[in-house]
Structure 1
């Protein structure tokens, strides 16, 4: 690579970072170091840069929502074992996971005996809501 091209590449990377396009800057560096990407068209390479930036921003927003939510446990709805005898109906749980109840401004009260995993299920639903771009705040009552 010529000195001029190297300097332009460095300036482009710095400019992307200065503009807050960290995902694009990372993808730009990866593309620059990968000889296999020369086979891609200009449009395909730009598409990869834009996709990376969008993914980085989505990840950052999710991380911020999860931090604000202050979920006490790391749980996700995909890990909920409905075979465990908790008295949860599969259809009801599927509707809760869907989240339409949140859109309708309905409340959810999780009750049951000690040790059934009520907090874990609540955290799993909160995590799913965060992934669905909803704001969550975890609180404990009683």
Structure 2
């Protein structure tokens, strides 16, 4: 089975009790809310990745205020012709503050909109697990970068 690795960087932007999320369209065409961010380009620093990705997906310029931790996920994907791939995703999660720009939607990318959501309303959203994992890191601020079991 083929193995793949994807390293990405994401931002937790909380302002006035609201969380900034981007809406991702999954392979099945079903929209899900996710943290703004995405995959590192070859040779790119993860901090630069989160700045670039958040601006691409939301229109906002941000400043990272701290590295909250790392989320990892490993699962088997089905690719073309029924081939299976052992995929390992590593996501670095940063706390961040909006420093400029205006909210806008990404065109031609992996997300189709961005929006602020009340923190209390997040559990009712159709969202990817990364949202909950990132919020847990933001709330707990574990020294190891990994939430307690």
**Do they superpose with TM above 0.5?**
no
TM-score, structure 2 normalization: 0.20
Instruction: Answer 1 or 2: which has greater strand percent.
Output: 2
TM-score normalised to structure 1 length: 0.20
Please identify which structure carries the higher helix content: 1
Greater relative contact order structure (CA < 8 Å, 6+ sep): 2
Larger Rg: 1
